[in-house]
């Protein structure tokens, strides 16, 4: 296989990671920015640095992405992986432009599934692995909503006798810690998805014999995500920070803490989750603890529609892209 195709995979995967960084910056900092616990500039740079450190933490999620979507690395080639990445990048840019939070993880899974289906058919897909990944993506925001509701209810009970001004003052400072935790956990899970794709490409082209992530791949993906986070994703930050539920410092802290624990727990279990979905679920749960109609369910419904459409849309774009690549290179 021509090396320039492998180079193309690496460039596109790092591009996906960079876009993932600014697309998902909102996950880490929207709550702390919307409550003015942190200024936007400080929040973005803190998130960038901790995203980088989180990305260097482990490679378990990368191995899941690289090994659980296709039956074997030998059944995919660079054209398939390029098509998958194009589909995922297209969807991320479209939803970023529209200001709709959507899942980069769903986009990548949909891209791989679409490209493999059109090139190898169902026999190229590892169905049990896909089911495991999709279940983790679906279950995690539901869990986040319930645990967010519980955490916020406990905080209301603990601080019910304090004056609102004192509560806001204390939790503004604590939000710095929760936003830092969120940023680290985001990097620990999301950057590994690009690592897994690059490693899969290296194995399928014969440069590696196992799905062990090389150090240069870890460093490159961590850097790409850090730089993307530094670029910021202000359209989505506005949606996450205020359009779902009007956040206060105590509710922002609860949402960030809850999201960080769930995402980092998934990282320890080597499961890819959508940080966007987890944070959205946390904010909805925290808002529901205040009162059910405090959550703007119309915005939540729009986001849910984007989530449902992500996998089939990216699968379709990737399938079309693969056919175009075959026409060009044959």
Q: What is the pLDDT of residues 58-111, one digit of tens each?
A: 788 888 888 888 888 878 888 999 999 999 999 888 887 877 767 788 888 899
pLDDT of residue 85: 94
pLDDT of residue 235: 56
pLDDT of residue 239: 53
Looking at the predicted structure, is the pLDDT value of residue 1 above 50? no
Q: For residues 228 and 52, what is the distance between their CA atoms, to the nearest angstrom? A: 10
Looking at the predicted structure, is the pLDDT value of residue 116 above 90? yes
What share of the chain in percent tops pLDDT 70? 88
Indicate the pTM of the whole model. 0.83
Q: Return contacts of 118-123, CB within 8 angstroms, 24+ apart.
A: 118/318, 118/319, 118/322, 118/323, 119/76, 119/77, 119/79, 119/80, 119/322, 120/75, 120/76, 120/80, 123/71
CB 278 within 8 A of CB 199: no
Grade residue 241 by pLDDT with cuts at 50, 70 and 90.
very low
Q: What is the pLDDT of residues 151-199, one digit of tens each?
A: 999 998 998 888 877 888 888 888 889 889 988 998 888 888 889 999 9
pLDDT of residue 297: 62
| Residue predicted with more confidence, 266 or 305 | 266
Bridge partners of 266? none
Min mean pLDDT across 8-12, 56-60, 241-245, 299-303 is at 241-245
Listed ranges 42-46, 123-127, 227-231; the one with the highest mean pLDDT: 123-127
pLDDT of residue 55: 87
| Residue predicted with more confidence, 328 or 306 | 328
Looking at the predicted structure, is the pLDDT value of residue 226 above 90? no
Map the chain to HEC letters.
CCHHHHHHHHHHHHHHHHHHHHHCHHHHHHHHHHCCCCCHHHHHHHHHHHHHHHHCCCCHHHHHHHHHCECCHHHCCHHHHHHHHHHHHHHHHHHHHHCCCCCHHHHHHHHHHHHHHHHHCHHHECHHHHHHHHHHHHHHHHHHHHHHHHHHHHHHHHCCCCCHHHHHHHHHHHHHHHHHHHHHHHHHHHHHHHHHHHHHHHHHCCCCCCCCCCHHHHHHHHHHHHHHHHHCCHHHHHHHHHHCCCCCHHHHHHHHHHHHHHHHHHHHCCCCCCHHHHHHHHHHHHHHHHCHHHCCHHHHHHHHHHHHHHHHHHHHHHHHHHHHHHHHHC
Looking at the predicted structure, is the pLDDT value of residue 238 above 70? no
Residues 20-40 have a mean pLDDT of 73
In Å, the largest CA–CA distance within the chain is 72
What share of the chain in percent tops pLDDT 90? 27
pLDDT of residue 115: 93
Q: What is the pLDDT of residues 190-217, one digit of tens each?
A: 888 889 999 999 998 888 888 889 999 9
Q: What's the mean per-residue pLDDT of the chain? A: 83
CB 89 within 8 A of CB 17: no
pLDDT of residue 330: 65
């Amino acid at each position: 296989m021509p090396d320039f195709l492998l180079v193309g995979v690496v460039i596109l995967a790092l591009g996906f990671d960079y876009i993932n960084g600014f697309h998902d910056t909102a996950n880490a900092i929207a709550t702390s920015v919307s409550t003015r616990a942190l200024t936007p500039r400080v929040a973005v740079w803190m998130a960038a640095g901790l995203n980088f450190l989180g990305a260097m933490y482990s490679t378990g999620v990368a191995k899941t992405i690289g090994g659980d979507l296709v039956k074997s690395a030998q059944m995919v080639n660079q054209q398939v992986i390029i098509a998958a990445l194009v589909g995922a990048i297209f969807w991320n840019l479209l939803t970023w432009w529209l200001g709709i939070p959507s899942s980069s993880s769903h986009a990548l899974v949909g891209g791989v599934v679409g490209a493999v289906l059109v090139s190898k058919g169902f026999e190229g897909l590892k169905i049990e692995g896909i089911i495991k990944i999709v279940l983790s993506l679906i279950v995690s925001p539901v869990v986040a909503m319930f645990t967010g509701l519980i955490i916020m209810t406990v905080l209301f009970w603990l601080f019910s006798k304090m004056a609102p001004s004192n509560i806001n003052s204390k939790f503004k400072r604590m939000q710095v810690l929760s936003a830092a935790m969120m940023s680290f956990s985001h990097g620990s899970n999301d950057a590994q998805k690009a690592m897994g794709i690059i490693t899969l490409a290296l194995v399928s082209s014969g440069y590696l014999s196992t799905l062990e992530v090389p150090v240069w791949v870890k460093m490159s993906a961590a850097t790409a995500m850090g730089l993307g986070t530094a670029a910021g994703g202000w359209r989505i930050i506005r949606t996450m920070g205020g359009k779902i539920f009007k956040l206060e410092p105590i509710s922002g802290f609860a949402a960030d803490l809850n999201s960080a624990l769930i995402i980092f727990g998934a990282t320890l279990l080597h499961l890819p989750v959508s940080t966007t979905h987890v944070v959205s679920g946390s904010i909805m749960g925290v808002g529901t603890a205040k009162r059910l109609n405090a959550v703007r369910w119309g915005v939540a419904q729009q986001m849910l529609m984007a989530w449902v459409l992500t996998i089939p849309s990216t699968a379709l774009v990737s399938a079309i892209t693969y056919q175009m690549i075959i026409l060009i290179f044959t």
